[in-house]
Structure 1
């Protein structure tokens, strides 16, 4: 299991669009938020056992002038109304060419989320729907699990070290891998 051997899972972080909610490109309208199947139950089950949850999302629409930060905040608020409160949110407002350290596949948002949660990155997992999500997790020293959608490129699925069919399966995969290493 590499860097995760002996690490207790303390947080599960999620990509937003295509993972927790249906991907609506550059969505600035809270009425268009549509949770993915199983999202609510998976988040409830994690929270009920004391696992922190967070959302990390590239939102280049801000940097491109397509969305305002207020629109993104309104969509995020709607997500919390539908799925419950998250312990941490990290949003990258930069475009692909801006050279920031936060835009996935860079590890900045995962590193920041773990720092804010007071945990080591090896104690976190990140679930997303594209290769950049898994790459960011691995670059940060966290565990990355891909839950592909119809838009995920086949090569990204092939390159991911861990792939699950849906959110419930992804969390089950994490639970199986950490069982035996956590004191109950």
Structure 2
């Protein structure tokens, strides 16, 4: 089985410093849904791993999160794409859970759910914490420059403590990342 792991906000959809709190605020990044469809057509399963601390902060509830994900699934279906599983961490950073990226809990759960090792699994994110979680779990970290990606890359060049994990691929967006995945890893 072939698998790809994606962060959600800033990778699939536009990010917001104020959180994505409703289906109306969930707006796909141009080309991202078609990129997921290409993964599906190329035989990849797709899992999403997303921190959603807005739940813990009381900004939205589980029903709203489910409605946001329903919109994502519906829009993906229109272009022939699908996400096979969504994993989320509802905790705030100060709750020190194991599932919140940069910890690897969600990635480990994905491995268990799909009964596979995470070594070399391509994993796409826009923030350092995504890449750290992916690399720590053995995945191939891929930084996209959408969302927080440009700021993540700039910070990595200015501060050694914010360096990208070794061998991180850098791509303009999810569409470019998927082209590289299907070309190099298919």
User: Matched residues in 2 for 1:150 and 1:42: separation?
Assistant: 16
Compute the RMSD of aligned alpha carbons. Answer: 1.8
Specify every segment of 5 or more residues in structure 1 that has no aligned partner in the other structure, as ranges: 1-8, 180-184
2:173 pairs with 1:166: yes
2:11 aligned residue (11, 19, 23): 19
**Number of aligned residue pairs:** 171
Alignment of 1:1-184 (within 5 A): 10-24=2-16, 25-84=18-77, 85-149=82-146, 151=148, 152-153=151-152, 154-156=154-156, 159-160=164-165, 161-178=168-185
**TM-score, structure 2 normalization:** 0.84
Specify every segment of 5 or more residues in structure 2 that has no aligned partner in the other structure, as ranges: 158-162
Contact 1:22 1:36 in 2 (8 A): yes
What's the CA shift for 1:124?
Answer: 2.0
What's the CA shift for 1:70?
Answer: 1.2
Contact 2:10 2:147 in 1 (8 A): no
Moved >6 Å (runs of 4+): none
What's the CA shift for 1:117?
Answer: 1.4
SS class of match (2:184): helix
User: Matched residues in 1 for 2:4 and 2:94: separation?
Assistant: 28
